[in-house]
Structure 1
Amino acid sequence: MTDKIHSSRAEQPAEPSPAPAAPTAPVDRHLLRWEILCVLALSLGAAGVSAAISFLGVLTEPESLAEQTASLVRPRAEEERPWLDLSWQMFVLVNALVPVLLVAYLMRRSGESSHTLGFDVRRPGFDLGSGAALAALIGAGGLAVYVVTWQLGLTVAIRPSTLAGHWWDVPVLVLQAVKNGVLEEVIVVGYLLHRLGQLGWTPWKAVLASSVLRASYHLYQGVGMFFGNLVMGLVFGWFYLRYGRVMPLVVAHTVIDVVAFVGSVYLIGRLDWLPG
Structure 2
Amino acid sequence: MICDMAESSPQPSPPADHAPRAVPPAGAASEPPTAVPLTSGLLRGEILCVLALSLGAAAVSAVISFTGSITASASLAEQTANLVRPQADAARPWLDLSRQLYSLVFAFAPVVLVLYLLRRSGESARDIGFDLRRPGFDLLGGAGLAALIGAGGLVVYLVSWRLGLTVTVAPSSLNENWWQLPVLVLQAVKNGVLEEVIVVGYLMLRLDQLGWSPVRAALAGSLLRGTYHLYQGVGMFFGNIVMGLVFSWFYHRYGRVMPLVVAHALIDIVAFVGSVYLVGRVDWLPGA
Taking the aligned partners of 2:105 and 2:37, their CA distance within structure 1 comes to 35
Q: Give, in whole Å, the separation in 1 of the partners of 2:64 and 2:102.
A: 25
1:27 and 1:198 in contact (8 A); partners too:
no
Partner of 1:34: 45
Report whether the alignment pairs 1:137 with 2:118: no
Write the letter of the residue equivalent to 1:157.
T
**Which residue matches 2:190?**
179
Superposition pairs of residues 167-246 of structure 1, within 5 angstroms: 167-246=178-257
SS at match of 1:270: coil
Aligned length in residues: 254
In 2: Cα distance, 1:43 partner to 1:25 partner: 25
In structure 2, the residue matched to 1:5 is none
Distance in structure 2 (CA, Å) of the matches to 1:209 and 1:133: 24
Which residue pairs with 2:81 in the alignment? 70
What residue number does 1:122 align with?
Answer: 133
Q: Tell me the alpha carbon deviations over residues 178-220 of structure 1, each in whole angstroms, 9 at most, x when there is no partner.
A: 0000000000000000000000001100000000000000000
CA distance in 2, matches of 1:24, 1:169: 47
Alpha carbons of structure 1 residues 270 and 123: separation in structure 2 relative to 1, 3 Å: same
How far off is 1:271 after superposition? 1.1
Alpha-carbon separation, structure 1, partners of 2:282 and 2:91: 30
Q: Partner residue of 1:89? A: 100
3-state SS of the aligned residue for 2:131? coil
- Name the counterpart of 2:22: none
**Secondary structure, in 3 states, of the residue corresponding to 1:182?**
helix
C-alpha separation in 2, matches of 1:97 and 1:157: 27
Question: Which of 43, 50, 60 pairs up with 2:71?
Answer: 60
Deviation at 1:26, TM superposition (A): 4.9
Looking at structure 2, the residues matched to 25 and 69 of structure 1 have their Cα atoms a distance apart, in angstroms, of 48
Is the contact made by 2:115 and 2:124 (CA closer than 8 Å) also made in structure 1?
yes
Q: Which residue, out of 142, 152, 156, partners 2:163?
A: 152
**C-alpha separation between the residues in 2 aligned to 1:254 and 1:196?**
25
Task: Tell me: CA distance 1:24–1:74, structure 2 relative to 1, closer, same or farther (3 Å).
Answer: closer
Residues in 1 aligned to 2:36 and 2:133: alpha-carbon distance in whole angstroms:
29
1: distance between equivalents of 2:97 and 2:68? 29
Contact preservation (8 Å) 1:218, 1:229: yes
Question: 2 CA distance for matches of 1:72 and 1:99?
Answer: 20
Residue identity in the other structure for 2:89? E
> Match of 1:262, as an amino acid?
V
| Secondary structure of the corresponding residue to residue 70 of structure 1 | strand
Report the alpha carbon displacement of residue 25 of structure 1 after superposing the two structures with TM: 7.0
Aligned to 2:6: none
Q: In structure 2, how many angstroms separate the alpha carbons of the residues matched to 1:33 and 1:84?
A: 40
Aligned-partner SS, 1:200: coil
Compute the displacement of 1:54 (Å): 0.5
**Counterpart residue type for residue 205 of structure 2:** H
TM-score calculated relative to the size of structure 1: 0.91
Q: Which amino acid aligns with 1:239?
A: F
> Where does the alignment leave 5 or more consecutive residues of structure 2 unmatched?
1-33
| C-alpha deviation, 1:24, in angstroms | 9.9
Q: Aligned residue for 1:20?
A: none
- Contact 2:66–2:230 under 8 Å retained in 1: yes
In the TM superposition, residue 50 of structure 1 has moved relative to its aligned partner by: 0.3
- Alpha-carbon offset, residue 27 of structure 1: 3.4
Kept in 1, the 8 Å contact 2:54–2:110? The answer is: yes
Aligned identity (percent) is 72
Specify the code of the residue in structure 2 equivalent to 1:268. Answer: V
Find the aligned partners of 2:129 and 2:257 in 1 and give their Cα distance: 5
Match of 1:18 in 2: none
Pairwise CA distance, 1:60 = 1.3
Task: Describe the superposition over 1:41-63 as per-residue Cα deviations: whole angstroms up to 9, x where unpaired.
Answer: 00000000000000011111110
Distance 2:226 2:106 in 1: 22
Bigger Rg, structure 1 or 2: 2
